[in-house]
Each structure stands twice: as C-alpha cells, then as structure tokens.
Amino acid sequence: MSNIYNILWVDDEHNDEALLPFIVQAESQGIIIDGYKSFKEGFTVLESNLNKYDVILLDALFYEDETSETPNPAGLGSAIQKINELRSRKSFPFFVLSGQTHFTDVTNPILEAFKIRCYNKKNPDDVKELLLNIKIEADNQIVTQIRHENQLLFNVLKEYPDEVRDTFITILRNQKEGNNQFDDQLYFTQLRIILEHLFRKANSIGLLHDACVQQGNNQVNLTESSLFLSGFDTKHFNVNCTMTHFPKLIAENVKNIIHTTGAASHTSNVDVTQNIDIQAYRTEITSPYLLYSLAFQLMDVLIWFDGYSKTNSDIATNRSYWKNFNKDQYGNKIEVETIINIAGNGWGTVAINKGTKNISIHKDAITQNNLGIGDQIEFVVKDNSTAQNITKI
C-alpha cells in the first residue's frame, strides 16, 4: 500500500489548466494537492483540520483574502507568519513554487529573510526535486509517520468525523513518543464516542435496531447495541437479531471497551472517576497501557466493521433479521419455539438461543397440553432448564 501525502496548496491559479500536468505528476507519486486561491481561504481550512495535511505549498504571489484585487507578496508574508504561529499546535514544512521570474531568477526580500528557496514551476527538474523534497520533509513529521504506519485504520477513518481520526492520532502519538501522562476521563470518553459513531453507521444500514440508537434524545445505548449485534437479547428494548453480526472476538473486544470505560449506558453521562473497577486498578497501576490496549482493540473493531458493512449493506435484508419478543409480568422472556424431541420417558425438548441451549419439557406438561414433535409452544425459563407456563400455539 503506497503512502499518501496531503498537501495544502495556496495559489491563485491552482485551477488553471496549465497546472494540471503538475497535479497529475504529484498524484502519481501519492501527493494529493488541495488547492485554494487566497491565504485566508486556505489557512481557514488548514486551522480547522490540522491533522489532514502534511506539508504546505505556497505560490509566491496569491490573494491575501477574498477582497484582494490582485495577487501580491502580502499573502506569502501572511502565510509564513501564520505557519510560525501554528508551530505550538503543529509544525508544518512548507515550500514555495512560482513561475514568476522576479522570484525564481532574482533574490526576493521575503524569501531571503526567511532563507527560503523558490522552486520554478516551469522547470521540470525543479518540480521533480520539489516533489521529492515534499515527501522527505513529510516523512519526518510524526503525524505523517503515524498515518503511514497505520494505513488500514486511517483509510477506514475517512468515513468518520475528523475528530475520530484526531483521537487516534493523539493516542498513537503519545504511545510513539513515550508520553505516559494521560487523562483517562478524556480518552475513555473519546473511545466511547467512537463506538457510538460505529453503532450509528450500523443502524443506518439496518444492522442495528432503531431502538438501540433512538431512545432518549437519539442517544446510543452502547450496551444494548453490543448485545444486539452479538446475537443476544437486549435487556430493556425487547428486541434481538436472528443473525449474529459480531464474530466472537469482536464481540468480546466491544464488550470489554464498554465495560472498562464505564459506559454502562449512554456516552454522554458516564463519569469514569465513578467506575470502581478503574479506580481500584489505578491504585496499583498508573501506566497508559490500559488505554493503549483499548485503543488497539477498537482499531480492530473499526477495521472489521468497515469490511463487514460493505458486504452486508442491504438494508431490507438486514432489517428482516430484527425480532421483537415479550416478557411476562415478572420480567421473564416469553420464548416461542418448536418441540424437537419427545423421549421414551415422555419428556420433551425445545432449543432456545438459536439452538444452542436445550430446554426440557416435563412429561406431565406434554400430556396435559397434548404436545408432540413439531408443535410450537410459548413458555418461560426461570431458574432452571425446564420450560414453564407452557401454552400450545
């Protein structure tokens, strides 16, 4: 998988057909150029999405803002100043590319002051060298390294809000740099929010029941969602799915993330400081490795879901697996199953939980209800493996 580099390009002529060969040449090397005509337009986008871009490419002359009547050096000066101001948030390598002879052939005061070379966009050797240097400088950036080292994840995250990508970049950056100072409250919350995004995606294609994401001001109930996708009965919504979507390991990872981060219900009302398990853990261990392990588990969940959702995207088919069930006045689930066997001693058998658990029917109930193999019955199972309160359907 080739590395991809995202470049913010400020050039008032970035849409000019004459520059199309340059753009194509860059893309052939994995350099994706996002062009803007003015300093204000380009850097507004940059500041709203710092982790998207690896390098900044500047023309020597471009508009400072939408009110500028002609391209001028003021835009370049403003851009360089802003790049320096942004260093506390993210350091960007930047390059200047121009076709203006008074920048390429003559010493320019602005470029000279900052010791910046101006590449000549009309010189093929300069362009070739520029693209090479862009990749070299980008490869030295830790955020770029993280994206390239985790391409499977970041390709998937293109389908999620930018803040999801930024959460993983922050965690992976701290892990890469050996920074052990983490705020569990903040990052555990972010992991829960990422799960919420995944569950909303699952609901949008019918994999997850509406009840799990449309209760209480459209909040996502993480526990109920996890149960539903794992093939189990929800505890409160009386719905389940006849198709088990989560493989066992994915189901266990999701369950572990939800339990460990303290998200017994909704993402918005959980205080990890009230999680007794976490507080007890922290009295013995204060390392960041618990957070790292949860983040890596979640990475696998996201990558798995991306592939699964693409091959199971038929909404009508997915929704056809949704089932409702009822409970009796004591909260016991009312099962509806077919008798699969009657033994020689008169005892019958039905299977629940998608055929994974056999339930016995007392021989007296068989006789009293005149039951036989193939009959469908309603019943409940309380504290043992015997069907009770049987009604023949």
Distance CA 93, CA 108 (A): 20
pLDDT at 284 over 90: no
Pairwise pLDDT comparison (320 vs 282), residue with the higher score: 320
pLDDT, position 228: 97
pLDDT band at 385 (very low <50, low <70, confident <90, very high): confident
Structure confidence at residue 377 (pLDDT)? 95
DSSP string, 85-122: HGGGT----EEEEE--HHHHTS--HHHHHTT--EEETT
Average pLDDT score, the chain:
90
Residue 265 or 169, more confident: 169
Average pLDDT over residues 51-68: 90
Is residue 271 pLDDT above 70, yes or no?
no
**Residues 365 and 340: beta-carbon distance below 8 Å:** no
- Give the CA distances from residue 158 to residues 34, 128, 302, 313, 381, in Å, rounded to whole numbers and listed in that order: 16, 29, 12, 18, 46
pLDDT score of 269 more than 60: no
Average pLDDT over residues 92-110: 83
DSSP-H helix ranges across 205-325 = 222-229, 248-260, 276-284, 289-311, 315-319
Please say if the pLDDT value at position 73 is more than 90.
no
Q: What is the pLDDT of residue 281?
A: 77
- Calculate mean pLDDT across residues 197-204: 96
Residue 384: pLDDT above 90? no
Q: In terms of DSSP bridges, do strands 55-58 and 239-241 run parallel, antiparallel, or are they unpaired? A: unpaired
Predicted local confidence at residue 42, as pLDDT: 96
Mean pLDDT of the region 81-91: 95
Tokens 């000066």 belong to residue: 77
Domains and CATH numbers, the chain: 5-144 (3.40.50.2300), 150-322 (no CATH), 335-392 (2.40.50.140)
Work out the average pLDDT over 174-186: 78
Amino acid of residue 369? N
Distance CA 173, CA 164 (A): 14
| Percent of the chain with pLDDT strictly greater than 70 | 94
Residue type, 340: I
More confident: 68 or 133: 133
User: Interhelix angle for 248-260 vs 289-311, to 10°?
Assistant: 140
End-to-end CA separation in angstroms for the chain: 58
- How far is 272 from 189, CA to CA, in rounded Å? 8
CB-CB contact of 377 with 391 (8 Å): yes
Using CA atoms, how far apart are residues 132 and 129, in angstroms rounded to an integer? 5
Per-residue pLDDT band for 329 (boundaries 50, 70, 90) equals: confident
263 confidence band (pLDDT: 50, 70, 90) = very low
Q: Closest by alpha carbon to 36, among 60, 54, 63, 74? A: 63
Contact 106, 93 (CB under 8 A): no
* Residue 266 pLDDT level (bands cut at 50, 70, 90): very low
* Structure confidence at residue 185 (pLDDT): 67
